[in-house]
Chains A and B, each alone.
Chain A
């Protein structure tokens, strides 16, 4: 079985397990909905303010709700010692990691696909002016988020206080990625094109993705096996 095939098998396994139980995705979706509602009660913004805060608001929702999905990614394998079986399976740690990261990325993107229209409805905002650039930013930001989240999901799986430690460790690490995604999203929702000063954030986002994906692929075996 080739590397790509292994990655796809792991991803399919995770997607299927989650779609059958729906425990993480349901929790994350309802949590995202609650945060979106709370923000609209708390700030009651005008149209102009909404465009300004849109990036920050949406990515905080994705980061908070996404953490619920990431928390489950490796802890799901704990009952019946599934994690030990996965590590012992004849696939590399990198394939296991990539498969899980891709599955998490799909879940968080699905969450975002629900949140963007909801945001448009609740906050009465036209958000599709720069649709495809926005999709690209969402994919890049989500990949950065899930790469960090997945490797730290593996790192914290055996810790005491796992649910607390994961957000505590990953949010500070993600700040450059989230900050870039927030700036770009606010910029695109305001209908402005991707050019000029804003490109420095796009470069930061891409650089973040490349650096952390490489680091995670190098270090995953150490995290899993020790």
Chain B
């Protein structure tokens, strides 16, 4: 059932992505002040949103694990963190490429960039922590506690461009957004495409985690019998 769902979603995502890519590279004109590099926004912003959703899912799953002690929530937390981290990396890399062209530098230590990098290190720390604990219950509990602490940085990343004067551009939606209608609709469609890819990866990772747990259980059973 879940496998079929993954295939359906993957088909939808690739069709949507093909449509968006054609739109981004063939139809939309260059932006007036930034030229052609502005197109990176179509991947940069959706990647960050997907990463943030991943962090939120990881937080909710971690809290649910601590409350219910159900290992399915633990699997969801790992899967969401790993997928979120992958999109966080995409966000950081696309951001630095854009910065190199527009600002002339790869990196600057302003509040947005710094807090985003800290976020990346924090969730990387989550994955390292999991590797150092052998006992599954203890691993899940400690990782869930750490995940809750790590999440505190996420709102700081979100609000950093509002709290401090930063070099990072202001949000493209809401007040001060500079995008034209065509570009805005393409960006929204790409949110959906990138988000779908995130969901597909999440489902695949979830399946792997559950298989892993089943193998672990079987191994322990044979160990007990023999």
Contacts and interface: CB of A to CB of B under 8 A. Distances in A.
User: Chain B interface: which size bin?
Assistant: 20 to 34
A133 interface: no
A215 B62 CA distance: 14
A148 B150 CA distance: 11
Contacts of B129: 165, 169
Interface of B: 66, 115, 118, 121-122, 125, 128-129, 132-134, 137-138, 141-142, 144-146, 148-150, 152-153, 156, 163-164
Interface of A: 148, 155, 158-161, 165, 168-169, 172-173, 175-176, 200, 211-212, 215, 219, 222-223, 226
A137 to B, nearest CB: 19
A155 B148 CA distance: 13
Contacts of A211: 152
Nearest to A148: B149
Given A165-B129, A200-B164, A215-B152, A223 B142 contact: yes
B141 A173 contact: no
Given A165-B129, A212-B152, A215-B152, A226 B145 contact: no
A155 B153 contact: no
A169 B146 contact: yes
Contact of A168 (B128, B134, B149, B156): B128
Contact of B132 (A160, A175, A219, A223): A160
Nearest to B140: A226
Given A160-B132, A176-B153, A219 B122 contact: no
Secondary structure type dominating chain B contacts? helix
A50 to B, nearest CB: 21
Given A169-B129, A212-B149, A176 B156 contact: yes
B66 A169 contact: no
A161 B130 CA distance: 12
B138 A168 contact: no
Contacts of A160: 132, 134
Contact of A222 (B118, B125, B145): B145
B137 A219 contact: no
A20 B103 CA distance: 57
A159 B133 contact: yes
Given A175-B118, A200-B163, 16 more contacts: A155-B146, A160-B132, A165-B132, A168-B128, A169-B125, A169-B146, A172-B125, A173-B153, A211-B152, A212-B149, A219-B66, A219-B145, A219-B148, A222-B141, A223-B145, A226-B138
